[in-house]
Amino acid sequence: MTEEILARLPHRPPFLFVDSICGRGENAIHTAVTFAPGWPVFSGHYPGQPIVPGVILCEAIFQSGALLIGELTAEAPDGSLPGLPVVARIFAAKFKRQVLPGDRLDIEIKLMERLASAWLMKGSGRVLGKVAVQVEFSCTFKS
């Protein structure tokens, strides 16, 4: 996890699900997270057959979206976000395959449109190049 991520997001372990920023493009960002095999959630989801909860996959995408917004907005001198990033709406979520302990989730976020204070985005998470999750959502900042 980089200092840049910690500076841009208010999330902290154990609820920070972005390990690295891998690339940037115009209105896009590529991030990644690896789910450690010893993560305590795996002992209950599910015993003997652990998988990363879908809600956590979505949260990793949402956090990556907040990083993208931070890149596209005028930042405060200290590098912080212009407010608390919050998900305003989830339009669609599709789960294509399981994400297992030790898997690295590569996340791609694209800004589709900005309407006033709402940022409409599309995100996907891939494991070894195969789509595991896709979600469309909107974010805004709470002051």
Predicted TM-score (pTM) of the model is 0.93
Q: State the sign of the Cα–Cα–Cα–Cα dihedral 118, 139, 92, 26.
A: positive
Q: What is the CA radius of gyration of the chain?
A: 15
In this structure, which amino acid lies at residue 135?
Answer: V
Number of domains the chain contains: 1
Position 70 confidence tier, pLDDT thresholds 50, 70, 90 = confident
Distances (CA, A) of 90 to 7, 61, 125: 26, 12, 16
- Residues facing 28 on adjacent strands: 25, 110
pLDDT at residue 53, as a whole number: 98
Question: Is 75 a residue whose pLDDT tops 80?
Answer: no
119-139 pLDDT, tens digit each: 999 999 999 999 999 999 999
Strands (E) across the chain are located at 20-25, 28-34, 84-95, 104-115, 118-127, 130-142
pLDDT at residue 11, as a whole number: 92
Distance CA 42, CA 86 (A): 26
Specify the CATH number for the domain of residue 107. 3.10.129.10
pLDDT at residue 81, as a whole number: 60
Reduced to 3 states, what is the DSSP secondary structure of residue 126?
Answer: strand
Q: Which pair of structure tokens corresponds to residue 123? A: 């995100």
Per annotation, catalytic residue among 6, 11, 39, 45: 45
Residue ranges making up the domain that contains 129:
3-142
Section 30-46 average pLDDT: 97
Active site residue 45: yes
User: Quick one: which H or E segment has residue 66?
Assistant: helix 54-72
